[in-house]
Structure 1
């Protein structure tokens, strides 16, 4: 039985017990319905973190609605942080405007959430500012993101740490022909003249106050510098420059991380939300005839291999666990390259051979305890693959 099927069954049993409680009944029915709905993904962060900009960057268009459903290819409901609906989200993209920002909101209150910290990606949302707007700012920001992912403050709190320049991502996705023409024109100027204008916002605006102010509002000075650099490298069409801006923004890294960490694992994350909701009802309205449901909920959570896989994938991604040359195979077997059997076995070939190999790693005294425990989790994933092919 899959995790979401187990969650559905537990909610069914709870609905029978709490049918005389309108509040509990409505709450449980809503969460049961969400098991069959889109993954709910909230973009949250402090007021200066660029939440609405990041929401538009993920979608690839300027949006004005407070929540919308998009195809990922799986269905995802993106929730505007200003509505406070993130409380009901299955997963969260948490924006940090600067490294070292307050992480208190990343620490979950619910005991199930604390035990399964698998639903958050942290984004350094003003990545261009980390490098003072230099052309190589995103390179520096990615290095900062990797260091933060291994930091004690974030260990166990998130699945990944990604650096993104949100304004540049939106500007690249929606770059107009006129905006490209401005970048192209500046890119053709003598380099000393253009470089002098790009030293500061004030100097750039002074060249053409109305047009350059509008361009800065759309791309920022970092984006303008990137765009002009692309033109100088011989990219002389709007689509080419737009693609280069998007690539430079880091938004592709975030989309890929959302896909691997959340969308591919949507059933498990929805089940986690449903079981958290059930646990709340069981604790707030305890009843003798709900005792067996509580015990079965605890048993399902304790045996939820999906959660172990997600925690281990985060440890591999951030370097907290390492298998050297076997890391790619480990990631694939855990479902990090897709959760279907063929994707899991893409680096291994035969499921039974993989099982024997990873059982061997789990018992290898040359490996550290952390790696042996991790190998045992991978071996359990291999067991499921062997069982799937046996049937």
Structure 2
């Protein structure tokens, strides 16, 4: 069983061996050089999906800035990557390009020095100071998810409704065989959650319930780690809510409900010239653009029921929008697993190369790759977590929460896996680790489980062994040099 550091070292060595083997094949050699360079990058997370699904708005919500969409006059940008930096900057054709911030995102302003090349992939890079981007590079892409994953380690697939066409798109992301084929790198985000049932106050709750049901469908669970309902517009506005906007909402919330509610039945009524006299039509139109009608209804209800500051309202709007659930899932399933996801991405690229450009040494390299994948326990953990979330494997109800926690479903540190409090002693942690190992050893070696459940229990038991190994490593004295 190998740790993250050893995994990265072994992937690096394997890619170097492949680069030597393919040194006389220019396209393969270039691909391997790029793959090697990316091993040291932050996690690359692509935001993909059909047009008008809310991808750019979701990117704004995740970053907490109104940066998207990015416009380049006369050009169609297929992908815009957002990276952390000390100063804002934009790059196109590997050269810095001027940009200005508008009321609807960023606008790049090329001049004669930035003429489009015939082979240009339509990709721009935005450098922006952001705590969110320090460990995760976000890409807002118009490419199909399978193509987006060629330059990414994981993908958020954003869609207004999860339909048959989306299922087909997700199926194309599984382009490898064996243990690398599990969909540990995909999260589905069902946007427009605030419009369910005509945008009722309970629309977001209903959308979240529907998402949980879709996740349990076998054909959906086999293609992604999770399905989450999010209202990107409400989430993005919550992250960037201004004092003036809160003041406008507070003024509307102060009106008697009997006076204001008739105007909240449609956008035409809400923006009518003679409606809601304390707030002029221009400000109401602005609120509608920022929140949508369902978001305005929600914000007014929250303001009336205790959110007496802009900060308090923004916090509650983030919760209701589904953004906090999405952020938690990204942290638990992607960011905390960035080493294994980066490795998986590199190994997937290598696997495809070895199978499509066969040379005599490729068979040995492929065998080494499969051995490395078999040794990587975190891949097995993520596959099992995906199966448990999707309902493809069902452990007894009294053991399922314990399994998900031990597998790292709520955090990957030893303490989080064992459910320990931050002030737990080393002795308490050892005791909890021993109890977990004993518990899952009895389950894995007993006869109460089905074959599929037994295999799952064996994976959890291997996780318990990994926890014990980490505790031994932490307890070992530091070398004297």
Shorter-normalised TM-score: what interval?
Answer: over 0.9
Pair 1:39 & 2:39 matched: no
> For residues 170 and 247 of structure 1, what CA distance do their matches in structure 2 show?
12
> For residues 13 and 152 of structure 2, what CA distance do their matches in structure 1 show?
21
Which among 141, 158, 162 is matched to residue 95 of structure 1?
A: 158
Contact 1:69–1:75 (8 Å) recurs in 2: no
Please say which of residues 162-171 and 173-182 is displaced more in the overlay. 173-182
Residue of structure 2 equivalent to 1:298: 370
> For residues 182 and 54 of structure 1, what CA distance do their matches in structure 2 show?
24
> For residues 77 and 201 of structure 1, what CA distance do their matches in structure 2 show?
37
Residue of structure 2 equivalent to 1:326: 399
Which among 32, 48, 69 is matched to residue 83 of structure 2?
A: 69
> For residues 175 and 307 of structure 1, what CA distance do their matches in structure 2 show?
40
Residue of structure 1 equivalent to 2:418: 345
Which among 247, 263, 275 is matched to residue 181 of structure 1?
A: 247
Change (3 A) 1:259 1:63: same
Change (3 A) 1:232 1:387: closer
Give the 5 Å matches for 1:194-213.
194-206=260-272, 207=275, 208-213=280-285
Please say which of residues 305-314 and 334-343 is displaced more in the overlay. 334-343
Which secondary structure does the structure 2 equivalent of 1:350 belong to?
helix
Please say which of residues 121-130 and 70-79 is displaced more in the overlay. 70-79
CA shift, 1:311, in A, is 1.6
CA shift, 1:333, in A, is 1.6
Which secondary structure does the structure 2 equivalent of 1:110 belong to?
coil
Pair 1:132 & 2:146 matched: no
> For residues 188 and 350 of structure 1, what CA distance do their matches in structure 2 show?
53
Contact 2:217–2:390 (8 Å) recurs in 1: no
Q: Larger helix proportion, structure 1 or 2?
A: 1
Give the 5 Å matches for 1:8-157.
8-64=12-68, 66-70=80-84, 71-72=131-132, 75-82=135-142, 85-102=148-165, 103-107=167-171, 108-112=173-177, 115-157=181-223
Which secondary structure does the structure 2 equivalent of 1:77 belong to?
strand
> For residues 259 and 438 of structure 2, what CA distance do their matches in structure 1 show?
65
CA shift, 1:155, in A, is 2.0
Please say which of residues 185-194 and 307-316 is displaced more in the overlay. 307-316
CA shift, 1:12, in A, is 1.5
> For residues 338 and 117 of structure 1, what CA distance do their matches in structure 2 show?
19
Q: Deviations over 1:319-354 (max 9, x none)?
A: 542342333322222122332333323357433332
CA shift, 1:303, in A, is 3.7
Query: Over aligned residues, Cα RMSD in angstroms?
Result: 2.1
Change (3 A) 1:387 1:231: closer
Change (3 A) 1:228 1:389: closer
Contact 1:72–1:259 (8 Å) recurs in 2: no
CA shift, 1:109, in A, is 4.7
Please say which of residues 162-171 and 14-23 is displaced more in the overlay. 14-23
Contact 2:437–2:461 (8 Å) recurs in 1: yes
> For residues 357 and 35 of structure 2, what CA distance do their matches in structure 1 show?
17
> For residues 183 and 162 of structure 2, what CA distance do their matches in structure 1 show?
20
> For residues 50 and 73 of structure 1, what CA distance do their matches in structure 2 show?
20
> For residues 233 and 446 of structure 2, what CA distance do their matches in structure 1 show?
48
Which secondary structure does the structure 1 equivalent of 2:187 belong to?
strand
TM-score by length of 2: 0.77
TM-score by length of 1: 0.93
CA shift, 1:388, in A, is 3.1
